[in-house]
Structure 1
Amino acid sequence: MSSYQSVFAPGLFKDQVIVITGGGSGIGRCTAHELASLGATVVLMGRREEKLQEVVAEIEADSKESGSGGSYYGRADYRVADIRDEERVIEAIADIVLQHGRIHALVNNAGGQFPSKVEDISKNGFQTVVENNLVGGFVMAREVYKATMKEHGGNVVNITADCNNGFPGMAHTGAARAGMENFTKTAAWEWGRYGVRVNAVAPGIVASSGLATYDPMTRKKLLMAGEMMPARRLCTEAEVSASIVFLLTPAAAFINGETLHVDGGAQFGSSHMYMQLPRPKENNVELYDGFHRSNLDELLEE
């Protein structure tokens, strides 16, 4: 099996330590693979040890099988932690700094939600999603900043969601993601003087393993939603990962407090508008899927 087909230069993140929450699946797994292929030591964090171990094993196998390119590969490590558990987060970050010396970047990717109308969301359900998608990300960023970035500088990329026009059907995650976008701006201003950049990536609907967490009807609706967007398809994990990687590169050195939307332009209209558009005879929209372990075709099957 070949290595990750990144568009970025080999060795770009050599000797850098990058923490990725939710690194055991979906966008987090893909991003871990790309950053490791570019030389980073990636430290995955998540609640399920077996999933983290699987991704670490994948990266180690790719490094061995990539031939001469293997010299560019970094390493993979992991810590089991629930980002909602403040004490555990503090402990895990301290342990990572103790082992690796410092943390150069944080990809705040962990999160989760469930489909529901506003009237049917319980207080506990709403609070749980907010803790996952906002509070946990705040705690991670705060602790990485205090433990290492305030002294050495660094980068934080928060993964939010495309919710400029609200988030019908998932009000809890829409509220949390909007909060994270605002937190991104505030942290960027307060921490910028210490050489810390804080940005966000807001994906549209991504063809990832996360689709499998929804019930069959919701999954079918999400897959159909791609037909209602300008590009008439869903986003790939690799397209989100490439955006995250860009924000971590020196090319983005003067970008701070921004939210980069990776949604094919979906934020500028509504599904009703796209349903009025004539279907083109040919779809000339290019798709990028550099993730060599992607199962995109399987995910897109209805």
Structure 2
Amino acid sequence: MGYSSIFRDGIFAGRTYIVTGSGSGFGRCIAHEIAALGGRVALVGRTLEKLKASAAEIAEDNEGPAGDPRCYTADIRDEERVTAMIGEILADFGRINGLVNNAGGQFSAKLKDISAKGWDAVVRNNLTGGFLMSREVYRQWMEVHGGSIVNITAEFGLGLPDMGHSGAARAGMDNFTRTAALEWAHSNVRVNAVAPGWIASSGYDNYPKEVSAAIAQRADHVPLKRHGTEAELSAAVCFLLSDAAAFITGTSIAVDGGAPLERGYRPSEDGPRENRAFHGFHRYSEPDILKQGK
């Protein structure tokens, strides 16, 4: 049994893609789908053990070049390391067709309780790191050869209470996406973003229990009345990486079940809804917090 992508087999054959934060969560799923579609994957993250686990899964599930991912450890906030790593990836693969800036992280806190150090850490992780990765991929390969960059942001349009540092960084990444799309279009580089809403991923279980419990209830405020799946997010990413999106750049696709449309004074109508979630990722495991009470 392998990844059940909605896309045609082989669309990424002969191509190489970098996925940051690919040791778990969204990144792991995205890397799996790219490989299932024939692409070679450079797995980037800070923890080698996690990257090796993802690599072993991909090798087990795929044959040929797609079943031979490579692991690269890096703190994407480290400019010198990012520059060197992109050189290493090019030496190993000979090309970079796409970059998925997925790596990021944050902690739950009120604005008044966030220190300057905590603020800087999250902004550098969720904004500066993506900039450095994009800049180096562009400088070292895409400026001459073209390619596609997809940035994972967030649903931040109405603010992001309790995670204001991340909301500010993600909004910055959205603006960077549009600027890079304009500046790099002459090099045939497309730059887009995917903005996830409440996607049921392993990250849910990394927050304190009271925060995770609140997240579990967020489905009540989504018109589709459920959390999204990792595969639904990955599908949007793979579409933007694919040739089908050849005339799409500088935009953001929201994968959020219509959450921004739901307002307390005018919620979506109650009633039965058939759960039509797409579960293409065969190795997906539902977060523990969502299993409770079932």
The interval holding the TM-score normalised by the smaller chain is over 0.9
Q: Match for 1:47: what amino acid?
A: R
- Quote how far apart the aligned CAs of 1:269 are: 3.2
* CA offsets 1:170-190 (integer angstroms, 9 cap, x no match): 100000000000000000000
8 Å contact kept, 1:208–1:299: no
2:61 match: 62
2:249 match: 256
Moved more, 239-248 or 283-292: 283-292
CA RMSD of superposed structures (Å): 1.4
In 2: Cα distance, 1:294 partner to 1:273 partner? 36
1:52 match: 51
Residues 179 and 14 (structure 1), Cα distance of their counterparts in 2 relative to 1, 3 Å cut:
same
1:67 match: none
Identical aligned pairs, as a percentage?
A: 48
8 Å contact kept, 1:38–1:74: no
How many residue pairs end up in the alignment?
A: 292
* CA offsets 1:105-126 (integer angstroms, 9 cap, x no match): 0000000001111111111111
- Quote how far apart the aligned CAs of 1:72 are: 8.5
- Quote how far apart the aligned CAs of 1:71 are: 5.8
- Quote how far apart the aligned CAs of 1:74 are: 4.4
2:9 match: 10
8 Å contact kept, 1:209–1:299: no
In 2: Cα distance, 1:161 partner to 1:9 partner? 28
8 Å contact kept, 1:184–1:200: yes
8 Å contact kept, 1:158–1:199: yes
* CA offsets 1:249-302 (integer angstroms, 9 cap, x no match): 1110000000100001112233x247x55531x212410010000112755213
In 2: Cα distance, 1:297 partner to 1:141 partner? 31
2:208 match: 215
* CA offsets 1:232-264 (integer angstroms, 9 cap, x no match): 111100000000000011110000000100001
Residues 273 and 31 (structure 1), Cα distance of their counterparts in 2 relative to 1, 3 Å cut:
farther
Residues 72 and 83 (structure 1), Cα distance of their counterparts in 2 relative to 1, 3 Å cut:
closer
In 2: Cα distance, 1:75 partner to 1:244 partner? 21
Q: Match for 2:134: what amino acid?
A: A
Note if 1:279 corresponds to 2:270: yes
Residues 291 and 273 (structure 1), Cα distance of their counterparts in 2 relative to 1, 3 Å cut:
farther
Matching residue within 68, 75, 81 for 1:82:
75
1:296 match: 286
Displacement over 3 Å in runs of 4+: 70-74
In 2: Cα distance, 1:297 partner to 1:118 partner? 27
- Quote how far apart the aligned CAs of 1:62 are: 1.1
Normalising by structure 2, we get a TM-score of 0.96
Q: Secondary structure at the residue paired with 2:86? A: helix
Residues 128 and 95 (structure 1), Cα distance of their counterparts in 2 relative to 1, 3 Å cut:
same
8 Å contact kept, 1:28–1:109: yes
In 1: Cα distance, 2:16 partner to 2:240 partner? 15
* CA offsets 1:169-218 (integer angstroms, 9 cap, x no match): 11000000000000000000000110000000000011001111100010
Note if 1:159 corresponds to 2:152: yes
- Quote how far apart the aligned CAs of 1:146 are: 0.3
Where does structure 2 lack aligned partners over 5 or more consecutive residues? none
In 1: Cα distance, 2:289 partner to 2:67 partner? 28
Note if 1:113 corresponds to 2:106: yes
**Counterparts of 1:178-193 in structure 2 under 5 Å?**
178-193=171-186
2:116 match: 123
Residues 72 and 239 (structure 1), Cα distance of their counterparts in 2 relative to 1, 3 Å cut:
farther
**Counterparts of 1:264-275 in structure 2 under 5 Å?**
264-270=257-263, 272-273=264-265
Q: Match for 2:251: what amino acid?
A: E
8 Å contact kept, 2:201–2:287: no
